[in-house]
Structure 1
Amino acid sequence: MDLVLALLPHSQAALWTFFAVFARIGAVMAVLPAFGDQPVPTRVRLMLAIIFTLIVAPAIALDLDALPTTLLTGFGILGMEALVGLFFGIFLRFFILVLQIAGSIAAQSTSLSQIFGGTAAVDPQPAIGHMLVVAGTALAALSGLHIQAASYMIHSYTLVPFGAGLQRSLVAEVGVAEVGRTFGLGFMLAAPFLIASLIYNVVLGVINRAMPQLMVSFVGAPALTAGGLLLFFLAAPVMLAIWLALFAAFMDMPFGAWP
Structure 2
Amino acid sequence: MPADLLSTFLVFCRIGACFMVLPGMSSARVPPQVRLFASLAIAVAVSTFIDERLQAYLAEPGPAVLLRLAVSEILIGLFFGLIARFYLLALEFIISGVAMSIGFGGMLGAMVDGFEMQAALTAFISLSALMVLFTLDFHHHVIVALLGSYDVMPFDTMPDMRLMLVDLVDVLRESFLIALRLGSPFIGFAIIINLGVGLLNKLSVQIPIYFISLPFVLAIGLVILYYSAPYMLSLFGQGFTGIYNLR
Letter in 2 for 1:123: E
Say which SS state the counterpart of residue 240 (structure 2) adopts. helix
Question: 2:211 is matched with which residue: 215, 218, 229?
Answer: 218
Contact 1:109 1:193 in 2 (8 A): yes
Aligned to 2:106: 114
> Could you tell me how far apart the structure 2 residues matched to 1:109 and 1:46 are?
41
1:169-225 superposed Cα distances (whole Å, 9 cap, x missing partner): 212321222223333333322111111011101211232333333321122111111
Contact 1:24 1:82 in 2 (8 A): yes
> Could you tell me how far apart the structure 2 residues matched to 1:127 and 1:159 are?
41
Q: State the Cα distance separating 1:231 from its structure 2 match.
A: 1.6
Contact 1:174 1:255 in 2 (8 A): no
Please tell me the root mean square deviation across aligned C-alpha atoms, in Å: 1.8
Aligned to 1:182: 175
Q: State the Cα distance separating 1:255 from its structure 2 match.
A: 4.4
Matched, 1:73 2:71: no
Q: State the Cα distance separating 1:228 from its structure 2 match.
A: 1.6
Aligned to 1:32: 22
1:13-35 superposed Cα distances (whole Å, 9 cap, x missing partner): 21011101001011011111222
1:136-192 superposed Cα distances (whole Å, 9 cap, x missing partner): 111111222343232122122122112322113212321222223333333322111
Unaligned runs of 5+ in 2: none
Which moves more between the two structures, 180-189 or 148-157? Answer: 180-189
Question: 1:57 is matched with which residue: 27, 47, 51?
Answer: 47
Contact 1:105 1:187 in 2 (8 A): no
Q: State the Cα distance separating 1:68 from its structure 2 match.
A: 4.6
Contact 2:4 2:51 in 1 (8 A): no
Letter in 2 for 1:99: L
Contact 1:103 1:128 in 2 (8 A): yes
- Residues 246 and 68 (structure 1), Cα distance of their counterparts in 2 relative to 1, 3 Å cut: farther
- Residues 177 and 144 (structure 1), Cα distance of their counterparts in 2 relative to 1, 3 Å cut: closer
Aligned to 1:162: 155
Contact 1:29 1:89 in 2 (8 A): yes
Which moves more between the two structures, 47-56 or 150-159? Answer: 150-159
> Could you tell me how far apart the structure 1 residues matched to 2:135 and 2:107 are?
28
Say which SS state the counterpart of residue 92 (structure 1) adopts. helix
- Residues 88 and 149 (structure 1), Cα distance of their counterparts in 2 relative to 1, 3 Å cut: closer
Letter in 2 for 1:245: Q
Contact 1:28 1:86 in 2 (8 A): yes
> Could you tell me how far apart the structure 2 residues matched to 1:68 and 1:34 are?
38
Aligned to 2:97: 105
Matched, 1:45 2:38: no
- Higher-Rg structure is 1
> Could you tell me how far apart the structure 2 residues matched to 1:146 and 1:92 are?
9
Letter in 1 for 2:123: H
Contact 1:55 1:150 in 2 (8 A): no
Q: How does 1:134-173 map to 2 (within 5 A)?
A: 134-173=127-166
Q: State the Cα distance separating 1:123 from its structure 2 match.
A: 2.1
Aligned to 2:11: 21
User: Stretches of 4+ moved more than 6 A in 1?
Assistant: none
Contact 2:18 2:78 in 1 (8 A): yes
Number of aligned residues: 244
> Could you tell me how far apart the structure 2 residues matched to 1:172 and 1:93 are?
15
Letter in 1 for 2:68: G
Letter in 2 for 1:142: T
Which moves more between the two structures, 216-225 or 149-158? Answer: 149-158
Contact 1:88 1:156 in 2 (8 A): no
> Could you tell me how far apart the structure 2 residues matched to 1:91 and 1:37 are?
16
Contact 2:197 2:209 in 1 (8 A): yes
